[in-house]
Amino acid sequence: MTGDKRSYVIGQTEIPARPLEPALYLVATPIGNLADITLRALETLAAADIVACEDTRVSRVLLDRYGIRRRTTAYHEHNAGEAGPKLIAALEAGQSVALISDAGTPLISDPGYRLVGEALDHGLRVVPIPGPSAALAALTASGLPSDAFLFAGFLPVKTGQRLTRLEALKAVPATLIFFESPRRLAETLCAMVEALGGARKAAIGRELTKTFEEMRTGTLQVLADHYTAADMPKGEIVICVGPAEARADQPEDIDRLLLSLAAEMPASKAAAEAAKMTGGQKQALYRRLLELRDAGGGEGGD
């Protein structure tokens, strides 16, 4: 549909959309439950001159749900080379373009970053319209540390490459977040046990925000055993893996860590951070840091 009516419908109420300034708008859309769309996203989609979609058929379900009649065009991995320059030309001509993926926040495991890079290279404005994200939804419900996390996308399909990638991520001091296909979930969890250790805490988010939503938690070994024995799950999968358990390293390593942290923060906070990272006691680490400073003539304190 390519009508010029710029409005959206909530319930029985039709709401006119305010005009948009020329820019590339990155619009997050629901990952399952269509009610998760934001009001700002609806108004942006209704007002945009062009709505660029990963799959126009998938996006049409959302647009029809809210009575949005806008021109849509496909922009995806296989046509980015051809479609991208056309969208850039539209932006340079003073039009507004809203970019959406099939679900969630654009640019997360899709080629939208190329379009953003091209827009920025041409001096064009890029505006994020935040909203749903499967990675963040799974992280917040996983019970795993969220102060530091790394989104690692999809792992390689080939066994050797997958193990190599996991080995490279093994020492990252953060919760790891992956997307995975249901048919490879059990195999991937077994690979994680091999590369990361079966004792790591983990969580599996399946069909998040949808009718059969499920969050399953446990160690990697427990989850690998469960999905190896169970029938292949259905739906979209997010895997969250907690960071390796902190352990006390050699005394000289701890000394270096303490001094490094103390160079950036007060001594008490440095000791607290070192305690989290090594599993040591804050009071003992604090005393050790003071000893190191006295021995080295260091300055500082609280």
Give the model confidence (pLDDT) of 262-296 as tens digits: 888 999 998 988 887 776 788 889 999 999 988 86
User: What confidence score (pLDDT) does residue 279 get?
Assistant: 67
CB atoms near residue 212 (< 10 Å) = 10
Instruction: List strand residue ranges (DSSP E) for the chain, in order.
Output: 7-10, 13-16, 24-27, 50-53, 72-74, 97-100, 126-129, 149-154, 175-180, 201-206, 214-219, 237-241
Distance of CA 91 to the CA centre of its chain: 27
User: What confidence score (pLDDT) does residue 1 get?
Assistant: 43
User: What confidence score (pLDDT) does residue 25 get?
Assistant: 98
As a whole number of angstroms, the distance between CA 253 and CA 246 comes to 13
User: What confidence score (pLDDT) does residue 281 get?
Assistant: 81
Q: Which two tokens stand for residue 139?
A: 């992280």
> Residue 209: what are its φ and ψ, rounded to 5°?
70, 0
Closest CA to 182 of 212, 160, 145, 218: 212
Closest CA to 129 of 151, 107, 105, 102: 105
Collect the ranges in the chain with pLDDT lower than 50: 1-2, 297-301
pLDDT tens digits along 26-74:
999 999 999 999 999 999 999 999 999 999 999 999 999 999 999 899 9
User: What confidence score (pLDDT) does residue 250 get?
Assistant: 65
User: What confidence score (pLDDT) does residue 252 get?
Assistant: 73
User: What confidence score (pLDDT) does residue 300 get?
Assistant: 47
User: What confidence score (pLDDT) does residue 109 get?
Assistant: 78
What amino acid is encoded at 80 in this protein? A
Cα-based distances in Å from 265 to 145, 258, 287: 22, 10, 16
What amino acid is encoded at 134 in this protein? A
